[in-house]
Amino acid sequence: MTGIQIKADGIGKKLDTMISRAKNARAYLNRIAYPMYQEAQLERWKTENVSEGAPWKRLSPRYLAQKKIRFASEPYSGRKMLVATGRLLKSVVGSERRYHRKIVTDKKLIISTTVPYAAEVAEVRPFMVFGNNTKKKILEGFRKYVVYG
């Protein structure tokens, strides 16, 4: 017999496993990407979107002063943008199941909120658009998941 024979113990099996993981990303999306999303959202709200690139448009000084009094007993004591009662924040992060929507398929993670005023808020202060660093972190996590499990 002439020619070269290459014996690749385990390589084929490893490649098959990686291909299988890449085709069915549901486990990654649920176990890794979703918690990364939640962490990024919490950081966004804590920093008033600075963590995602640009800060949200400032509140008027008058409204900010009223908010500190009216929502003093709520999360962040009325001192953070987009947090009065905390309903919108909780619905986006997932701790308020009543308004939180999460759909996971083999290829997609779809997250939304059904808080009635969310669309108007998002027009002025977008809270569901992520910066490049967050996107890269999630994609790098997927690469590691495919390669290492």
Assigned domain for 27 exists: yes
Residue 8 is predicted with a pLDDT of 60
Assigned domain for 4 exists: no
Assigned domain for 1 exists: no
Total number of domains constituting the chain: 1
> Residues 80-94: what's their mean pLDDT?
91
Q: Rounded distance, CA 112 to CA 82, Å?
A: 16
Closest CA to 37 of 29, 47, 26, 25: 29
Assigned domain for 97 exists: yes
Q: Rounded distance, CA 42 to CA 93, Å?
A: 7
Q: Rounded distance, CA 141 to CA 6, Å?
A: 32
Assigned domain for 54 exists: yes
pLDDT at 88 over 70: yes
pLDDT confidence of 124, banded at 50, 70, 90? very high
Assigned domain for 7 exists: no
Closest CA to 134 of 39, 47, 29, 32: 39
Residue 25 is predicted with a pLDDT of 87
User: What residue numbers bound the domain in which 61 lies?
Assistant: 12-148
- The better pLDDT of the pair 22, 42 is held by 42
pLDDT at 60 over 70: yes
Q: Rounded distance, CA 66 to CA 72, Å?
A: 10
Q: Show Cβ contacts of residue 84 under 8 Å, excluding neighbours closer than 6 positions.
A: 67, 70, 71, 74, 78
Q: Share the mean pLDDT of the chain.
A: 89
Assigned domain for 115 exists: yes
Residue 9 is predicted with a pLDDT of 63
> Which token pair is 119?
């669309």
Give the helix/strand (H/E) hosting 100.
strand 100-104
Assigned domain for 122 exists: yes
Residue 79 is predicted with a pLDDT of 87
Residue 129 is predicted with a pLDDT of 92
